[in-house]
Amino acid sequence: MILTETHLWEIVLMLGAGSFGQVYKVRKVVQNKPQPEMYAMKTENKKGDPSGMRLKIEVHVMEKCHTLPESRRKHFVKLFERGSTEHFKWIVMNLVGPSLDTVRQILKKNFSVSTAMQCGLQTLEALSDLHSIGFLHRDIKPANFCIGSDETEEIVFMLDFGIARRYLNEDGTLRASRTHGKFKGTPRFCSRAAHLLLELGRKDDVESWLFMLFDFYDNIQGLPWKGKQKEIVFDLKKQVFTPLYSTSELHSTQIPKQMRNIVTYINNLKFECEPDYKYIKNVISMAATEMRVDLNAKLDWKGQAETLNHVKKTEEVSSAYTVFFSCNDTFFGWQDWVGGYFGSTYGKLQLMSAEHSDDRTESPGVYIGQNEACRIHSSTIT
């Protein structure tokens, strides 16, 4: 239980954990009676390296998002309460559904073309809204976008602003570009500039969004650099922006040819320029028309609540074993060692597949193997 000035929060389940804090499913307790509505509580330990603290910037961005007109904040969760105890800081916000990455794992197939396009349009809209309040996300990827629950099932929410950065000064002018910085993002989805440790701008968020869109279309071959060393990843990303890429064997046939117009546009975009989000949306809409794709079709996960809830229940059981270990951006064999160790020690344990081995933001980091992709024999649960 956590008692605040206004509410008593009961922790129902730990949803995830990292090196600096945890995320819990919580509910209010009123007059000793737990209330039915669930929320998400994110905590951050007060002790530790200050450079790794993320909650302050997350709160700032979330509060800023909700100064937008109602029509432009639908892709952001609401911040209900925040505070601190002796040992940690915390925030309470809307509880949303699984990430787009997790949804696709549950469905065990690529998104349909319509769903891929709709996800592309919704996530681009969220990115445009974030940029409009003067912030960059800097870690655009499917794992940082979640579907809603119940009546918001068809809305995609943008999450995780822990490495967001203001790109505008208070007077609305562009902040001066730094000549050199630290790596920010996730190797699989980050922009070319991120690989070069350059200052990131709106263009780079949109470039990461483009890679994510390719991944929506084809989870297997959409990004041919999955699981490869960072140097190879960078070289392959550079090839995407060459004229011959669309006819090369690296190019997935699942990606509509019209997306080449977006590739060319992003490649010509200057650091200081505002992306033309409307143009990019129009390219997708026109591609849908040419391909006779219905952008109002039912999303692939709509009506799949029973399946999603089943996975959540499985995760609750397996949360008894959460695997923590340090990893390095250039080390992609971790899942074999950990899977082998736990497989022989605790029975059947299947960790996340190798394609997720580079899903982390900084090196070294802490990667958590949880049961989005593992099963633990019931006899091992205590």
Distance CA 164, CA 175 (A): 14
Cα–Cα distances in Å, from 142 out to 158, 186, 189, 210? 10, 11, 9, 11
Report pLDDT for 305: 56
Residue span(s) of the chain under CATH 1.10.510.10 come to 100-291
Report pLDDT for 367: 32
Report pLDDT for 189: 98
Residue span(s) of the chain under CATH 3.30.200.20 come to 2-94
CATH number of the structural domain 100-291: 1.10.510.10
Active-site pick, 101, 129, 139, 358: 139
Report pLDDT for 330: 32
Report pLDDT for 329: 32
Place of tokens 């998400």: 40
Residue 42 assigned ligand-binding role: yes
Report pLDDT for 368: 34
Report pLDDT for 19: 64
Distance CA 281, CA 287 (A): 10
pLDDT digits over 154-198, tens only?
A: 999 999 999 999 999 888 889 988 877 789 999 999 999 999 999
Sites in the chain below the pLDDT cut of 50: 313, 316-382
Torsion of CA 95, 120, 113, 106, to 10 degrees: -30
Q: What is the CATH architecture assignment of 2-94?
A: 2-Layer Sandwich (3.30)
Report pLDDT for 11: 93
Q: Mark whether 150 is an active-site residue.
A: no
